[in-house]
A = this chain, B = another copy of it.
Amino acid sequence: MRVGLLGCGTVGTALVQLVAEQAAEIEARTGLTLEIARVAVRNAARDRGVALPSEVFTSDAHAVVQDPTIDVVVEVMGGIEPARELILEAIAHGKPVVTANKELLANVGAEVFAAADATGVDVLFEAAVAGGIPLVRPMRESLLGEPVTRVLGIVNGTTNYILTKMTEAGASYGDALTEAQRLGYAEADPTADVEGFDAGAKIAILASIAFGVRVVAGDVYHEGISGLRADDIAYATRRGLVVKLLAIAERCEGEHGSEVAVRVHPVMLPGTHPLAAVRESFNAVFVQGRAVGDLMFYGRGAGGAPTASAVLGDLIDAAGNTRRGTHASIGVLGKATIRPIDELESGYYINLDVVDRPGVLAAVAGVFGTHGVSISSMEQEGFGDEARLVFVTHLARERDLQATLHDLRELDVVHRVGSVIRLLDDEDAPT
């Protein structure tokens, strides 16, 4: 099986090395011989330190996907274009494609899947979500018959690393981010990670597979972690809770049938929840189904070698399917009705800086009452003329909560509405 590789950065390089190491064992177990036959890169002259002859490299990616001697195409270049164009071209030439490209799939996945199904070739993408964790295949195949109700997880290692440092070392957000950047876990511009865009793309893909509908990145509501303060984390720790940035996709019944809610935001979890034990840059995804109950998949969500491992699994599968003359279909993806965040319900943790004088608590509590948001617990700490109030609410509708926050910001006695963190479930709310 001659493999055409598009892109040879961290993941591509790791894949070339892994294929070299494992080729003999793969052949012994499956009868498949994998050969990285052509590699398309921007600069074909650059030495990438991989054990491939220099004539394998080319800067003409179109030549690779059109090459009739290439059996399978692996795309690890990232970004929407020209990846989309090249993948569609490979499919049009009857070649199965393995991709690690979450941005592409979260935006134009439906187009790619439709093209693959029409031609009858595989598009496999285990590496696009949660790196090395086998998650896409179990969801596509093992859980195809399962009534999945919710998928929620830690799918961004950068923010999990930052939150771990804030929790375990009491670091501020800024210091934890700086350390993550120093260690290479965060980029110089961390926006895509810390504001939840990266997690949003991944949960869009997972929602599509879990519920069999088309969900795109733009459907996902997201809040990041850059506004979290050390005292939010300290509060959580005192109550036996842990703050995680979760990506959540839920199926819910709407007036006109099934709806999907997809969002990314910080959540306070009970410390005994398995996701609470996911530390550092690890990822983990919880899948909840009516029959199977709670499942969790845990591992390295990024990095060259783990991602290459996921690509290799798909590559063996695509090669095997090609040999057998079959392919795995993504199945029929219906149209999704996205439930707006306004209609969701949650318990909330809310942190307010207020003036410390008589009557303030009554004024603040009155605003909650006006909007029908019921308070489960309150804590006050004084700081000279200022006080910090922490409220935890019972289950409330997002719309009502946002109206409450709006009115609180209007109050003279409220200096600042700080963090707003959702609780995982009402029964998990600290009381």
Contacts and interface: CB of A to CB of B under 8 A. Distances in A.
A142 B137 contact: yes
Nearest to A14: B291
B309 A300 contact: no
Residue among A18, A26, A293 with max Cβ neighbours from chain B (10 Å): A293
B28 A332 contact: yes
Contacts of A309: 143, 145-146, 289, 291-292
A427 interface: no
A272 interface: yes
A146 to B, nearest CB: 5
Contact of A212 (B29, B126, B332): B29
Interface residues of A, number: 62
Contact of A291 (B25, B282, B308): B308
A312 interface: yes
A306 interface: yes
Contacts of A125: none
Interface string A310-343: 1011111100000011100001101000000000
A132 B277 CA distance: 21
Interface string A178-208: 0000000000000000000000000000000
Given A145-B22, A274-B278, A300 B293 contact: yes
Contact of A306 (B29, B212, B292, B298): B292
Contacts of A28: 212, 332, 334
| Number of copies of this kind of chain in the complex | 2
A279 interface: yes
B305 A292 contact: yes
Contact of A299 (B126, B292, B299, B331): B292
Given A134-B143, A144-B313, A277-B277, A300 B305 contact: no
Interface of A: 14, 18-19, 21-22, 25-26, 28-30, 126, 132-134, 137-138, 141-147, 212, 272, 274, 276-279, 282, 284, 289-300, 303, 305-306, 308-310, 312-317, 324-326, 331-332, 334
8 contacts: A28-B334, A141-B316, A141-B317, A142-B313, A143-B313, A146-B313, A293-B299, A294-B298
**List of 9 A-B pairs having minimum Cβ-Cβ separation, nearest first:** A134-B142, A134-B138, A277-B277, A296-B298, A292-B309, A145-B312, A142-B313, A295-B299, A132-B292
